């Protein structure tokens, strides 16, 4: 009899935990060296989406506009081509691997069987690493959770350009893929 899907998933998680230990040590070292407040941030990526942009049909049940989920940012009701500054809206990021893995596992439960979930990271060399008019805001509910917000109203095309720029600087931890093992 083969290994059950549940145990395979558990094994994957154990592997992630072990690698997570090493990553945690690297993060602490990086934060010391860079003097950066956050240093490294992590984000769950559900295949086939990219780290900061979603693909139509793989973005959940809400609206999507040019790869941006309407639930993530505050789109103007008067003109959906504009995104409004809001400290309560933005892409979700974690400041630790542990936290990101919790979210990955939680969201994995909502995915169809076989969907791959990854964790991507972004190394912030300094505060200039964040595009203009964007800011990480700590979630008042959870200190390990941050929203990548916008601080000034902007056209959605400008936000797409900024998120694409970030996307190109994020690295997906290939080989650490989790796979949804049951039908959601």
Partner 1 sequence: MLKFDADSKNAKLLAIHYARLIGGDLLIKFMSGETDLSNTENATLIIKGFWQMTDLAIKDNHANKIIEGITDIEFWMHKLFIKVNGYMTRNGFKTLWDASINNR
Peptide bond connecting 48 to the previous residue in cis, omega within 30 degrees of 0: yes
Interface map 87-126 toward partner 1 (x if CB under 8 A) = -xx--x-----xx--xx-xxx-xx-x--------------
CB of 113 to partner 1, least distance (A): 11
- List the interface residues with partner 1, window 44-63 (CB under 8 A): 60-62
Instruction: Dig out the tokens for 123 from the structure.
Output: 């190394």
Contacts of 128 by beta carbon, 8 Å cutoff, 6+ apart: none
Interacting residue with partner 1 among 145, 166, 173, 176 (CB under 8 A):
145
CB of 34 to partner 1, least distance (A): 25
CB nearer partner 1, residue 13 or residue 19: 13
What is the β-pairing status of strands 40-46 and 178-179?
unpaired
Q: H or E stretch including 7? A: helix 5-34
Region class of 73: left (phi > 0), else alpha (psi between -120 and 50), else beta: beta
CB nearer partner 1, residue 39 or residue 108: 108
d(CA 70, CA 75): 7
CB nearer partner 1, residue 30 or residue 69: 69
Residues near partner 1 (CB under 8 A) are 13, 60-62, 69, 71, 86, 88-89, 92, 98-99, 102-103, 105-107, 109-110, 112, 139-145, 183-184
């Amino acid at each position: 009899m083969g290994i059950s899907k549940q145990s395979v998933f558990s094994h994957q998680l154990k592997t992630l935990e072990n690698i997570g230990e090493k990553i945690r040590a690297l993060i602490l070292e990086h934060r010391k060296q860079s003097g950066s407040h956050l240093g490294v941030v992590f984000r769950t990526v559900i295949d086939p989406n990219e780290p900061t942009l979603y693909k139509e049909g793989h973005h959940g049940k809400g609206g999507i506009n040019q790869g941006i989920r309407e639930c993530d940012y505050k789109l103007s009701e008067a003109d959906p081509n504009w995104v409004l500054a809001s400290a309560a809206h933005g892409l979700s990021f974690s400041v630790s691997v542990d936290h990101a893995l919790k979210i990955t596992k939680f969201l994995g439960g909502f995915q169809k069987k076989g969907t791959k979930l990854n964790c991507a990271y972004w190394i912030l060399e300094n505060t200039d690493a964040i595009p203009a008019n964007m800011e990480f805001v700590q979630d008042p509910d959870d200190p390990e959770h941050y929203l990548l917000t916008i601080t000034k109203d902007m056209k959605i095309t400008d936000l797409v350009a900024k998120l694409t720029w970030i996307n190109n600087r994020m690295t997906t931890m290939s080989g650490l893929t989790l796979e949804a093992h049951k039908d959601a």
